[in-house]
Amino acid sequence: MRPERGTFRLVYTGTLWNLTDIDPLVRSIEHLDTVHPELSSRLELVCVGRKTPEQLAVLNRLRTTSTRLVSIDYCDHSTALQWLHSASGLCLLLSNVPGADRVVPAKLFEYLAVRKDLLSICPAGETADIARRFFPHGQFAPSQLLQIGDWLQQRLIKVETASAELPVDDNALREFSRESQTERLAKVLNSLVASR
C-alpha cells in the first residue's frame, strides 16, 4: 500500500459533499498541472469515502491531468487508517459556508494523531486555528488557490526527501484526547451543579 518511489501521496478520508467541497484542491492541481506537469505527475491523490455526484464530477476532472487519482468508495475504518498511514500528507476540507467557523470535524484529531504533513483547506474559525497551531504553513482558505498550489509544489519538488512522520508535541495533542475532553466536560458540568 506504500506509494511508488518519487510519489507524494495526498490522502483525504471521509464524505465529499457541499460541506467538504474538493473544488479548491482540484483547481489548484489543475493549475499546477498546466504550469508544471512534471511535478503534477509526482502527485497521487487518494480520496477514500462516499462522494456526492457533484463532488465526483469535480474529482474526475483530475483524470485529464498528470496527477494520479485513486477514488475509493466507503470502506471500513481499519482500511481507511491504512490509507492514512501510507500517506505522505493528509488533506482536510471544510467549505466556506455559514457556520463553518464553528465546525471541527473529528477527523482533524485522527489526522493529527497520524502525524503526517497536513494540508488544511478551510475558512477562518475553530478548525483553521487548530490546524494552523500544528501545521502553520499548510492552512489555507478555500479561495487561496495559488498558495495551495505552492504548498503542493514545495512537497513535490522535495518528494524524495520528505519526512514520513512529522514530530508533533504529545502534550499539545493530549489536549484533544477523549480523556482530556471528557475531563474538561466534567469540570464544566461540576461547576454548573455547584452553582445551583
| Tally of domains in the chain | 2
Q: 83, 78, 82, 103: which is closest to 93 by C-alpha?
A: 103
35 with 119, same domain? yes
CATH number for the domain that contains residue 62: 3.40.50.2000
The reported pLDDT for the residue numbered 89 is 96
Predicted confidence (pLDDT) per residue in 99-155, tens digit: 999 999 999 999 999 999 999 999 999 999 999 999 999 999 999 999 999 999 999
177 with 158, same domain? no
Query: Collapsing DSSP states into helix, strand and coil, what is residue 87?
Result: coil
Q: Is residue 130 part of a domain?
A: yes
Domain range for 145 is: 8-165
The reported pLDDT for the residue numbered 165 is 56
Strand arrangement, sheet containing 89-93: 68-72, 43-48, 8-13, 89-93, 117-121, 139-140
Residue 180 confidence (pLDDT) above 80:
no
The C-alpha cell that represents 26 in the structure block: 482540484
Rounded alpha-carbon distances, angstroms, from residue 14 to 6, 105, 116 = 26, 10, 17
The reported pLDDT for the residue numbered 171 is 65
The reported pLDDT for the residue numbered 193 is 86
Q: Is residue 3 part of a domain?
A: no
Contact 75, 48 (CB under 8 A): yes
- pTM, two decimals, is 0.88
Q: What integer is the mean pLDDT of 41-69?
A: 98
150 with 175, same domain? no
